[in-house]
Amino acid sequence: MKVIFLDFDGVLNSAAFFRTCREEGAMFDPKALAYLAEIVAATDAVIVLSTSWRKHWQYEQAKSDSVGQYIHTLFREYAMTVVDKTPCLSMFDRPEEIRQYLKAHPEVEHFVILDDFAFGWEELSEHLVRTHYYLDSGLSAEHRDRAIAILNA
């Protein structure tokens, strides 16, 4: 199984996106969502939420709060499947949350981490495609291409 560990802030949105789209009230950049959908289509990967937004999402849409239901609906519109979320240890221990998820799910053969978090990746760093919330516009064509290469290696 191929998995995309997905952060939202800095990946599906960015400071630049919010500056230009503030009045529209959008939470996620449609360009970034399209790039993510292209990764999924090119690799047949599923999505595991590693974002702090995962607290809103439950596998069963009816059990999600309003933000989680929005995530379900939006990802379905882009033909993407969210299958799970990482355990929640602490705000700054995302690498360990992913390590624990991988240990509990040996069926994961290939994975990529889409995140803007900078520290602690160590042995996971070769799987990291790092975006930047302030320095760029979230997920880009370059990030998409690197993610596809990692997942299809």
Per-residue pLDDT tens over the stretch 74-121:
999 999 989 999 999 876 789 999 999 999 999 999 999 999 988 889
Mean pLDDT taken over the chain: 92
What pLDDT shows up at residue 22?
61
pLDDT at 69: 93
Domain 2-151 fold is: Rossmann fold (3.40.50)
For the record, the structure tokens of 11 come out as 């990946």
Segment 5-30 shows an average pLDDT of 84
Res 25: pLDDT: 67
Mean pLDDT of 122-126: 94
- If we measure between CA atoms, which residue out of 135, 103, 128 comes closest to residue 113? 128
Closest by CA position to 85, among listed 35, 40, 46, 139: 46
Q: What gap in Å lies between CA 45 and CA 28, rounded to an integer?
A: 20
> Model confidence over 23-64: pLDDT tens digits?
566 789 999 999 999 999 999 999 999 999 899 999 999 999
At 135, the pLDDT band (50, 70, 90 cuts) reads: confident
Task: Compute the distance between CA of residue 146 and CA of residue 127 in angstroms, rounded to an integer.
Answer: 10
pLDDT of 142 above 90: yes
Domain regions of the chain by residue span? 2-151
